[in-house]
Amino acid sequence: MDIFFQQIINGLVLGSMYALVALGYTMVYGIIGLINFAHGDVLMVGALTSWTVATLLAASGLPGWLILLISLVCAIVICATLNFTIEKVAYRPLRNAPRLAPLITAMGMSLLLQTLAMIIWKPNPKPYPLLLPTEPIDLGGPVISVTQIIILTATAVILAVLMFIVNRTRLGRAMRATAENPRVAALMGVRPDMVISATFIIGASLAAVAGVMWAANYGTVQHSMGFLPGLKAFTAAVLGGIGNLAGAVVGALLLGLVEALGAGYLGALTGGVLGSHYADIFAFIALVLVLTLRPQGLLGERVADRA
């Protein structure tokens, strides 16, 4: 039973990080119908930027939590600037092009970011500095680290703030109007280009936070680290219903739980034939089942028809 609850904790932590990335996918898709496959690599840039800043400040004598916070702010600024530039240079000129063109461009941008990161930061994995206490907290069997507590708390706060922005602010109303019909929104005084840029900036900021969380939790960074989290976050967005913010969160948490429980019990279920490193099987089997039985995702696809 202790293993079960431990895997539940691990799954919630993993799902929380997936949720932050999945929200970036689903926000962009909900507004302009684009799958930004470079989004996982924005997470990678955020993690590597944080690693650079944390390494430079390691000997400064500052508290670990302050170094982590400074590195997080730097990662958010770099990722937001990067995603804003990508949208303006690579995606905006193709906004009225056939859907295949921006999709291929997004894949090319992903490869470009990985290559540039490999050149700038070198291809070898790098240990992320230990900035927070590593002593686990005993919960009566299962344990949780300070880093995991911060991940769960920060994710809950960020999701609440994002929901408030989307549902209660002028920017959120402009996002919903642009998603409904950008031409009519423009006639009503909304600036669709500004709204789309803001969406990319918000998505990049969430990916940067997820990247720093990922690095702090797993203790290593490298140029290719964004591919798999990005793919799984996209899977989570589709699982919950891409275009639906709540669906992205539900799908991400469910995917994290399925993956963690699969890692904990896969060896026993297969008699030792498959180890925990095959846990991805469960995640994608769950996706196939959901899409077979409910193609629009768990909470339905909330994407408006455009005139």
* Residue pLDDT, tens place only, 132-175: 988 889 888 889 999 999 999 999 999 999 999 998 999 999 99
Is the pLDDT assigned to residue 295 strictly greater than 70?
Answer: yes
* More reliable by pLDDT, 246 or 76: 76
- Tokens at residue 78, please? 């770099």
Which residues, listed in sequence order, are joined to residue 137 by a DSSP beta bridge?
A: 144
* More reliable by pLDDT, 4 or 198: 198
Q: What is the pLDDT of residue 267?
A: 63
From CA 236, how far away is CA 255, in angstroms rounded? 6
Chain segment 213-259, per-residue pLDDT in tens: 999 999 999 999 999 899 889 989 888 888 888 889 999 999 999 88
Q: What is the pLDDT of residue 302?
A: 46
Q: What is the pLDDT of residue 270?
A: 64
Q: What HEC string does 239-284 produce?
A: HHCCCCHHHHHHHHHHHHHHHHHHHHHHHHHCCCCCCHHHCHHHHH
User: Token pair 């803001």 is at which residue?
Assistant: 198
What average pLDDT score do residues 54-65 get?
91
From CA 21, how far away is CA 42, in angstroms rounded? 9
Cβ proximity of 286 and 229 under 8 Å: no
* Percentage of the chain exceeding pLDDT 70: 93
Q: What is the pLDDT of residue 204?
A: 95
- Tokens at residue 187, please? 């006639």
Q: What is the pLDDT of residue 129?
A: 92
What value, to the nearest 5°, has the Cα angle with vertex 246 and ends 250 and 180?
145
What average pLDDT score do residues 287-296 get?
81
Q: DSSP letter at 125?
A: -
What average pLDDT score do residues 261-267 get?
74
Q: What is the pLDDT of residue 258?
A: 86
From CA 301, how far away is CA 128, in angstroms rounded? 38
Mean pLDDT score of the chain:
88
Q: Which residues, other chains included, contact 108 with Cβ-Cβ below 8 Å and sequence gap of 6+? A: none
Cβ proximity of 19 and 254 under 8 Å: no
What average pLDDT score do residues 117-133 get?
93
Chain segment 179-222, per-residue pLDDT in tens: 888 889 998 889 999 999 999 999 999 999 999 999 999 999 99
* Beta pairing, strands 143-144 & 220-221: unpaired
Which of 125, 135, 25, 31 shows the shortest CA–CA distance to 83?
25
> Binning pLDDT at 50, 70 and 90, where does residue 271 land?
low
- Please say whether the dihedral angle defined by the alpha carbons of residues 249, 80, 100 and 180, taken in this order, is positive or negative: positive
- Tokens at residue 43, please? 């997470």
From CA 200, how far away is CA 151, in angstroms rounded? 22
Which residues, listed in sequence order, are joined to residue 221 by a DSSP beta bridge?
A: 126
